[in-house]
Amino acid sequence: MITQIPERYRSRVLLSPQATDTGTQAYLAPTAGTMGLTIRAIATKGNAAALALSLKYADDAGGTNATAYPIDVPVFANGVRQTNGKSYSVPGASGNTIVDFCVDPATIPDGKFVGLSYANSNAATFLVVELIEDVAYRPTAT
């Protein structure tokens, strides 16, 4: 029986905390047997400039042949369900927003990496992104 969060969920950093004045992207390979996957973006807006987040897949962690995700997925902003989609624009000039893209691992094209990209926004807006997998994960001893 799984009784602890670390046994059930695996979290990995997709994008470390960074200013969003220069757009970037990051991708990770999903863990084999993952039952569910959430890409969680935490944005701290310090400026009204748009912060457009885009769910994508690519051939590798470097983003080779990055392509828009093949289907619309459930999107939540601060826990409130939004219209299903492949992108979300973080509103407002200030404040924190948590955006979750909920991905069914069966929809990730075979052999592809899943990730997130954003276009240039503003140096006063910060972003961190993590990949959370429902894997019934059991850490191995080192």
Reading the chain (142 residues) residue by residue, the pLDDT tens digits are 555 666 678 899 999 999 999 999 999 999 988 889 999 999 999 999 999 999 999 999 999 999 999 999 999 999 999 999 999 999 989 999 999 999 999 999 999 999 999 999 999 999 999 999 998 755 555 5
Local structure of 5: helix, strand or coil: helix
Please classify residue 130 by burial: count the beta carbons closer than 10 Å to its beta carbon, then call 0-12 exposed, 13-18 middle and 19+ buried: middle
- Cα(109)–Cα(120) distance, integer angstroms: 27
Does residue 84 sit within a domain?
yes
Q: What is the pLDDT of residue 5?
A: 65
Q: What is the pLDDT of residue 4?
A: 66
DSSP symbol at 6: H
Name the residue among 97, 89, 105 with its Cα closest to residue 127. Answer: 97
- Cα(132)–Cα(56) distance, integer angstroms: 16
* Enclosing domain of residue 28: 10-134
> Could you tell me if residue 136 is left (phi over 0), alpha (psi between -120 and 50 degrees) or otherwise beta?
left
Q: What is the pTM of this model?
A: 0.90
Q: What is the pLDDT of residue 32?
A: 87
Q: What is the pLDDT of residue 90?
A: 96
Does residue 122 sit within a domain?
yes
* C-alpha torsion angle, residues 138, 63, 21, 94 (rounded to 10): -40
Does residue 30 sit within a domain?
yes
Does residue 139 sit within a domain?
no
Does residue 2 sit within a domain?
no
What CATH number corresponds to the domain at position 52? Answer: 2.60.120
Q: What is the pLDDT of residue 58?
A: 98
Does residue 142 sit within a domain?
no
Does residue 74 sit within a domain?
yes
Q: What is the pLDDT of residue 33?
A: 84
Domain count, the chain: 1
Local structure of 125: helix, strand or coil: coil
Q: What is the pLDDT of residue 11?
A: 93
Stretch (H or E) spanning 8: helix 5-8
Does residue 140 sit within a domain?
no
